[in-house]
Amino acid sequence: MTTTADLSLSYEAAPTFSTPLRFFLTAPLFGALAGVVLLFVPDLLGSRWTPGALALTHLIAVGFMLNIMFGALFQILPVVAGAAIPNARIVAGIVHVGLATGVASLTWGLGAGSPPFLNAAVVLLGITFGVFLVAAGYGLRRTPIAQATPRDLRFALLGFGIAATLGMALAMILSGGLSLPLATVVKLHVGWAWLGGSGLLLAATSWVVVPMFQITPNYPARLTRYWALLTCAALVAWSAAVLAGFSLLEFILAIALAALSGAFAITTLRLQTRSRRSVPDNTTRAFQLAMSCMIAGLLCIVAAHRFDHDVWPVLAGILILHGGFVTAIVGMLYKIVPFLAWLHLSQAGMKAPNMKKLQPDGPIRKHLIAHAVALAVLLIAALSGSTLVVRTAGVLVMLEFGLLFANLMRVLGAYRIARSA
């Protein structure tokens, strides 16, 4: 009997260090670029619909978040789901270049309102998503689905696929190549990108990562068993309500989705209070901030439905993307990268410095503080509308992503020193 799981668990099946790392090192550059945009286009936070806000959102969501999520998936699919991506190195090369050029093109297309750039983004990101989803789907095709995480990873990939398709449709509407109701497609795109893709991936990862690394009790079995199913079902029903124009049903389902997301965030926070580890590490702190921001962001979404003011959606976007996803992702990155350095060193038969020598706590803490300050100033900037505060936020965002990049390079430096020793 042979299954894909036979070999996928071995070190030999794990991708080379450069496979995930190229994504991890590119992502902070797009984050820093978001800071540059804030610095030079300070009126963009006035509404979620300004070209600058759209560009900014995609620099963070696609340029930063998706870059890291893709890089991490190349690494974790074999470990968590027993699914090895075939020809990972070549696939990663295509996905990495496609994503970087695609998001650059998309950002310029959105920010400058340029149809040729939007069209180029559709082609580049279309190829990127297509290649990644086919390769991941191929790796996953015969692996066991006994646990919640491998199943939910499949849902997340499906969610990303739907969000990407809707996003490409939107870019084509904006460039004049497709005639569809813009507002409806935007709504669906945001719903699927946020919850169907990113939200499901974060939850699927958390089911495993929180209990294991923070040594907490497991998530309640009912939550891990039904959360992703319910969220997907509610998303499908909500999409149908949006398409049919049933606004009351749409509102009720949006509240249901917010409640589901809130249940996930609150459960995570409660589990963390029961951690057996006496000293919360940086990842735990990052998760606490992320989950609190998610909850605050959800409240802003509810407020946006209730009060017709442009600030609520902007606050929700900052809290959920920068406060929620970016923080959680950074927290996990600081576990993954030094471990990979350690793993590749020890497997090459070299003496690997321990995790804290490869990635000391001090610089991580500095970065997390910079990130939290940038978040606070961003929120003040959105509330006050002051150009000066927005520009300050821009500088802080550049700084925080610069620190993240420097910290990751530090691990790489320590890795190289150990390799040459």
Partner 1 sequence: MNDITTLMSHDHRSCDESFARAETAISRGKWDEGTAELEKFIAELETHFTAEESILFPRFESVTGMTEGPTKVMRGEHADMREAVERMRDAVSRRDKDDYAGEAETLLILMQQHNMKEENVLYPMCDAQLAGENLPPTLAKQLGREQAA
As a whole number of angstroms, the distance between CA 333 and CA 335 comes to 5
Nearest approach in angstroms of CB 219 to partner 1 is 12
Q: Is 46 exposed, middle or buried (0-12, 13-18, 19+ CB in 10 A)?
A: middle
Place of tokens 């619909």: 49
Q: Is 348 in the site for partner 1 (CB under 8 A)?
A: no
Q: Which stretch in 42-50, 54-62, 314-322, 346-354 sits in contact with partner 1 by CB under 8 A? A: 346-354
Alpha helix segments (H runs only) across 348-360: 355-358
Tokens of 347: 């497997």
Within 323-342, which residues bind partner 1 (CB under 8 A)? 335, 339, 342
150 vs 331, which CB is nearer to partner 1? 150
Q: Is 409 in the site for partner 1 (CB under 8 A)?
A: no
Q: Which of 354, 362, 420, 421 binds partner 1 (CB under 8 A)?
A: 354
As a whole number of angstroms, the distance between CA 379 and CA 289 comes to 15
Q: Is 82 in the site for partner 1 (CB under 8 A)?
A: yes
Nearest approach in angstroms of CB 131 to partner 1 is 25
Within 271-290, which residues bind partner 1 (CB under 8 A)? 275-279, 281
Q: Which stretch in 18-26, 48-56, 142-150, 236-244 sits in contact with partner 1 by CB under 8 A? A: 142-150
CA angle (33, 39, 44) in 5-degree steps: 95
Q: Is 79 in the site for partner 1 (CB under 8 A)?
A: yes
Q: Is 146 in the site for partner 1 (CB under 8 A)?
A: yes
231 vs 359, which CB is nearer to partner 1? 359
Q: Residue 144 in contact with residue 201, Cβ under 8 Å?
A: no
Q: If you ran DSSP here, which 8-state letter would residue 45 be given?
A: G
As a whole number of angstroms, the distance between CA 237 and CA 110 comes to 30
As a whole number of angstroms, the distance between CA 157 and CA 183 comes to 24
Q: Is 225 in the site for partner 1 (CB under 8 A)?
A: no
**Distances from the Cα of 49 to the Cαs of 110, 113, 230, in angstroms?**
10, 12, 30
Q: Is 149 in the site for partner 1 (CB under 8 A)?
A: yes
**Distances from the Cα of 76 to the Cαs of 32, 60, 149, 164, 208, in angstroms?**
26, 22, 11, 22, 11
Q: Which stretch in 211-219, 225-233, 234-242, 403-411 sits in contact with partner 1 by CB under 8 A? A: 211-219
**Alpha-carbon torsion (349, 351, 355, 359), positive or negative:** negative
Q: Which stretch in 65-73, 77-85, 377-385, 408-416 sits in contact with partner 1 by CB under 8 A? A: 77-85
Q: Is 57 in the site for partner 1 (CB under 8 A)?
A: no
Give contact residues for partner 1 (rule: CB under 8 A).
Answer: 1, 3, 5-11, 79-82, 143-144, 146-147, 149-150, 208, 211-213, 215, 218, 275-279, 281, 335, 339, 342, 346, 353-357
